[in-house]
Amino acid sequence: MIQTSITTDRLQLELLHPNDHEFMRVLVNTAGWIEFIGDRNVHTQEDAMAYVDRIINTPNLYYWVARLKAANTPVGVISFLKRDYLEHFDIGFALLPDFQGSGYAYEGAKGVLDMVKAYPEYQTVLATTIPHNVHSISLLTRLGLRFEGEIKPGEETLHVYST
Protein backbone atom coordinates (compact mmCIF):
# COMPACT_ATOMS: atom_id res chain seq x y z
CA MET A 1 0.00 0.00 0.00
CA ILE A 2 1.32 3.41 -0.98
CA GLN A 3 2.14 5.53 2.07
CA THR A 4 0.14 8.72 2.38
CA SER A 5 2.89 10.45 4.37
CA ILE A 6 6.67 10.38 3.93
CA THR A 7 9.15 12.22 6.13
CA THR A 8 12.66 13.19 5.04
CA ASP A 9 15.28 15.31 6.79
CA ARG A 10 13.76 18.63 5.73
CA LEU A 11 10.43 17.72 4.13
CA GLN A 12 7.06 16.31 5.00
CA LEU A 13 5.35 14.75 1.97
CA GLU A 14 1.59 14.27 2.20
CA LEU A 15 -0.72 13.00 -0.53
CA LEU A 16 -2.48 15.79 -2.37
CA HIS A 17 -5.61 17.02 -0.55
CA PRO A 18 -8.51 19.14 -1.87
CA ASN A 19 -7.26 22.01 0.29
CA ASP A 20 -4.06 22.11 -1.80
CA HIS A 21 -5.89 23.57 -4.81
CA GLU A 22 -4.51 27.12 -4.50
CA PHE A 23 -0.93 25.84 -4.18
CA MET A 24 -1.45 23.65 -7.25
CA ARG A 25 -2.91 26.58 -9.22
CA VAL A 26 0.25 28.55 -8.54
CA LEU A 27 2.60 25.61 -9.24
CA VAL A 28 1.08 24.56 -12.58
CA ASN A 29 1.32 28.14 -13.83
CA THR A 30 5.04 28.58 -13.19
CA ALA A 31 7.23 29.01 -16.25
CA GLY A 32 9.08 25.75 -15.55
CA TRP A 33 5.90 23.68 -15.27
CA ILE A 34 4.50 25.14 -18.48
CA GLU A 35 7.79 24.65 -20.39
CA PHE A 36 8.70 21.17 -19.17
CA ILE A 37 5.36 19.58 -18.23
CA GLY A 38 2.78 21.55 -20.18
CA ASP A 39 0.01 24.08 -19.74
CA ARG A 40 -2.83 22.50 -17.76
CA ASN A 41 -5.22 25.46 -18.29
CA VAL A 42 -5.72 25.83 -14.54
CA HIS A 43 -6.29 29.56 -14.04
CA THR A 44 -9.16 29.99 -11.60
CA GLN A 45 -9.95 28.60 -8.17
CA GLU A 46 -12.64 26.42 -9.78
CA ASP A 47 -10.13 25.11 -12.36
CA ALA A 48 -7.68 24.29 -9.57
CA MET A 49 -10.30 22.52 -7.48
CA ALA A 50 -11.35 20.41 -10.48
CA TYR A 51 -7.70 19.65 -11.36
CA VAL A 52 -6.89 18.49 -7.82
CA ASP A 53 -10.12 16.46 -7.71
CA ARG A 54 -9.15 14.67 -10.98
CA ILE A 55 -5.72 13.81 -9.58
CA ILE A 56 -7.10 12.54 -6.28
CA ASN A 57 -9.75 10.41 -7.99
CA THR A 58 -7.57 8.88 -10.71
CA PRO A 59 -6.39 5.33 -9.96
CA ASN A 60 -2.63 4.75 -10.04
CA LEU A 61 -1.90 8.49 -9.76
CA TYR A 62 -0.25 9.82 -6.61
CA TYR A 63 0.90 13.37 -5.94
CA TRP A 64 2.64 14.16 -2.67
CA VAL A 65 2.87 17.82 -1.72
CA ALA A 66 6.35 18.48 -0.36
CA ARG A 67 6.33 20.91 2.57
CA LEU A 68 9.23 22.30 4.56
CA LYS A 69 8.98 20.62 7.96
CA ALA A 70 10.08 23.72 9.84
CA ALA A 71 7.41 26.06 8.44
CA ASN A 72 4.86 23.72 6.80
CA THR A 73 5.44 25.69 3.58
CA PRO A 74 4.50 23.85 0.37
CA VAL A 75 7.47 23.90 -2.03
CA GLY A 76 6.53 21.38 -4.73
CA VAL A 77 5.14 17.99 -5.65
CA ILE A 78 6.48 14.52 -6.23
CA SER A 79 4.34 12.40 -8.54
CA PHE A 80 4.17 8.63 -8.98
CA LEU A 81 1.86 7.39 -11.69
CA LYS A 82 1.19 4.66 -14.19
CA ARG A 83 1.10 6.09 -17.70
CA ASP A 84 -0.67 4.16 -20.46
CA TYR A 85 2.40 4.28 -22.69
CA LEU A 86 4.90 3.03 -20.07
CA GLU A 87 5.33 -0.49 -18.70
CA HIS A 88 6.15 0.68 -15.17
CA PHE A 89 5.24 3.55 -12.84
CA ASP A 90 6.80 6.93 -13.56
CA ILE A 91 8.22 9.31 -10.93
CA GLY A 92 8.18 13.06 -11.43
CA PHE A 93 8.79 16.26 -9.53
CA ALA A 94 8.14 19.98 -9.76
CA LEU A 95 9.06 22.81 -7.41
CA LEU A 96 8.10 26.42 -7.06
CA PRO A 97 10.92 28.58 -8.53
CA ASP A 98 11.93 30.02 -5.13
CA PHE A 99 12.77 26.53 -3.86
CA GLN A 100 14.65 25.12 -6.86
CA GLY A 101 18.34 24.38 -6.49
CA SER A 102 18.10 23.59 -2.77
CA GLY A 103 18.01 19.79 -3.06
CA TYR A 104 14.31 19.52 -2.21
CA ALA A 105 13.35 17.72 -5.44
CA TYR A 106 16.11 15.18 -4.87
CA GLU A 107 15.16 14.70 -1.23
CA GLY A 108 11.45 14.30 -1.97
CA ALA A 109 11.93 12.00 -4.98
CA LYS A 110 14.42 9.87 -3.04
CA GLY A 111 11.90 9.60 -0.20
CA VAL A 112 9.27 8.29 -2.61
CA LEU A 113 11.72 5.92 -4.33
CA ASP A 114 12.90 4.58 -0.97
CA MET A 115 9.29 3.94 0.05
CA VAL A 116 8.18 2.18 -3.16
CA LYS A 117 11.24 -0.07 -3.44
CA ALA A 118 9.81 -2.12 -0.56
CA TYR A 119 7.05 -3.31 -2.92
CA PRO A 120 7.85 -5.98 -5.55
CA GLU A 121 5.57 -4.39 -8.14
CA TYR A 122 7.69 -1.21 -8.07
CA GLN A 123 11.15 -2.76 -8.44
CA THR A 124 11.49 -0.87 -11.71
CA VAL A 125 10.52 2.79 -11.71
CA LEU A 126 10.70 4.98 -14.81
CA ALA A 127 10.94 8.70 -15.37
CA THR A 128 10.37 10.69 -18.54
CA THR A 129 11.60 14.10 -19.52
CA ILE A 130 11.96 16.19 -22.62
CA PRO A 131 15.50 15.94 -24.00
CA HIS A 132 16.50 19.56 -23.21
CA ASN A 133 15.40 19.51 -19.53
CA VAL A 134 18.99 19.33 -18.28
CA HIS A 135 18.08 19.97 -14.62
CA SER A 136 15.67 17.01 -14.51
CA ILE A 137 18.15 14.79 -16.33
CA SER A 138 20.85 15.69 -13.81
CA LEU A 139 18.50 14.97 -10.91
CA LEU A 140 17.36 11.63 -12.37
CA THR A 141 20.98 10.58 -12.82
CA ARG A 142 21.76 11.62 -9.24
CA LEU A 143 18.83 9.49 -8.07
CA GLY A 144 20.42 6.49 -9.78
CA LEU A 145 18.19 6.29 -12.85
CA ARG A 146 19.84 5.60 -16.19
CA PHE A 147 18.90 6.59 -19.72
CA GLU A 148 16.98 3.79 -21.47
CA GLY A 149 15.94 5.40 -24.75
CA GLU A 150 13.48 7.66 -26.51
CA ILE A 151 9.76 7.32 -27.01
CA LYS A 152 7.22 9.43 -28.85
CA PRO A 153 3.82 8.84 -27.21
CA GLY A 154 2.32 11.86 -28.95
CA GLU A 155 3.79 14.85 -30.73
CA GLU A 156 6.71 15.17 -28.31
CA THR A 157 9.84 13.06 -28.01
CA LEU A 158 10.58 11.95 -24.43
CA HIS A 159 13.68 10.47 -22.89
CA VAL A 160 12.99 7.50 -20.62
CA TYR A 161 15.09 6.80 -17.53
CA SER A 162 14.89 3.68 -15.35
CA THR A 163 15.99 2.51 -11.92
In a domain? residue 26: yes
Instruction: Tell me the pTM.
Output: 0.94
Whole-angstrom Cα distance, residue 63 to residue 41? 18
In a domain? residue 9: yes
Question: How many structural domains does the chain have?
Answer: 1
Tens digit of each residue's pLDDT, the chain (163 residues): 788 999 999 999 999 999 999 999 999 999 999 999 999 999 999 999 999 999 999 999 999 999 999 999 999 999 999 999 999 999 999 999 999 999 999 999 999 999 999 999 999 999 999 999 999 999 999 999 999 999 999 889 999 999 9
Whole-angstrom Cα distance, residue 131 to residue 35? 12
Q: How many residues does the chain have?
A: 163
**For the chain, what percentages of helix, strand and coil (3-state, to nearest 5) are there?**
35, 30, 35
Whole-angstrom Cα distance, residue 141 to residue 112? 16
In a domain? residue 78: yes
pLDDT, position 162 = 98
In a domain? residue 154: no
In a domain? residue 128: no
In a domain? residue 43: yes
Q: Which domain holds residue 36?
A: 5-122
In a domain? residue 105: yes
CATH of the domain at 26: 3.40.630.30
